[in-house]
Amino acid sequence: MMMTDKKIFLINLLIAIAFCLPAKAQQEPIYSQYMFNGLVINPGYASVDESASLTVVGRNQWVGLDGAPKTASLSFFTPFKQTKTSLGFSAMKETITVDSRTDFNAIASQKVALNDEWNVSLGLQVGISQYKENNSQLSTTDPAFAENQSYMKTNVGFGFTLFREDFYVGLSSPLFKSFDMGKKGVSRIITKPHYYFTAGYAYRVNDDVLLKPSILLREVKGNGMQYDINASILLRELVWLGASWRSEKTVTGLVQVRITPQFELGYSYDTPTNSNLKGAQSVSHEVMLNFRFGWSSDHEITPRVF
């Protein structure tokens, strides 16, 4: 089915933002519940949790805008207690207008005890990304978009986290270096390293209340420093309530419920506060499912703070 001129213009605009101007745009997906899903931004996170973990995330960005980003991700890791090594994988699918990206990553992380209180985790991930352009949906005579296209890249990323029971600080680059697979000069996709700095502190107010402020800094060459400031509160070890302020002038509200000792359900709602942004984009929704378990029957699943 052919698209209207208005939709074609919007599609081409989003393509330019997402792909043709890579030095000025965020290429990696933005997650609002990153503080409960650290593996999507830091492969070293796999050694922070002592339980195996499976997480599924679905994100619908700028609801109501044709061609807006939609993201689905899955991640899994499991620690091996004897070696203090954690292994895992992640997968991600994102669609923007007629373009899509699919990632598969293998992850390895090593935990090192510095003393009785402090630990450091070192993580590495390698993977493959496939970029597709479904240009057959466009009614245009531009030869640059005459045929469907597909590009493959291999990616390398790293991350580390310094942590103890009530505090963590991390530095990572899940997309540090990419290499084209195929003939040189064919791919229109140019990637830039993404760097993340994270930190958080858990303060126990009383037996029923825990307060956790956290911060995320993102940097992509040519795009400057962006930040996300969050404050969350845990009530009776069952319900997380939180709010974030993002440098893109976006406010986020989030809630996560511990339905069973193993299963948690989270939801976040993003809305722009700038009147100009409201005219260009709508709200965003994100749902997260997390299942944590141990391989042995005597493994206790304790509430997750980080």
Q: How far is 159 from 170, CA to CA, in rounded Å?
A: 7
pLDDT given for residue 62 in this prediction: 84
pLDDT digits 0-9 by tens, 271-298: 988 755 555 567 999 999 999 987 666 5
pLDDT given for residue 294 in this prediction: 73
- 112: tokens are 């090192």
Contacts of 150 (CB under 8 A, 6+ apart): 130, 131, 132, 133
Contacts of 245 (CB under 8 A, 6+ apart): 228, 229, 251, 252
Residue 11 pLDDT exceeds 60: no
Phi, psi of 245 (to 5 degrees): -125, 125
Domains in the chain, please, with CATH?
29-293 (2.40.160.40)
Cβ-contact 105, 88 below 8 angstroms: no
Cβ-contact 199, 215 below 8 angstroms: yes
Q: How far is 52 from 284, CA to CA, in rounded Å?
A: 29
Cβ-contact 157, 173 below 8 angstroms: yes
Q: pLDDT over 70 for what percent of the chain?
A: 79
When mean pLDDT is compared across 10-14, 111-115, 243-247, 279-283, the lowest value belongs to: 10-14
Confidence band, pLDDT 50/70/90 cuts, at residue 81? confident
Exposed e or buried b per residue across 144-179, where buried means at least 16 C-beta atoms within 10 angstroms of its C-beta: ebeeebebebebbbbbbbbbeeebbebbbbbbbebe
pLDDT digits 0-9 by tens, 198-256: 999 999 999 999 999 999 999 987 778 899 999 999 999 999 999 999 998 899 999 99
The owner of tokens 């419920």 is 257
pLDDT given for residue 180 in this prediction: 85
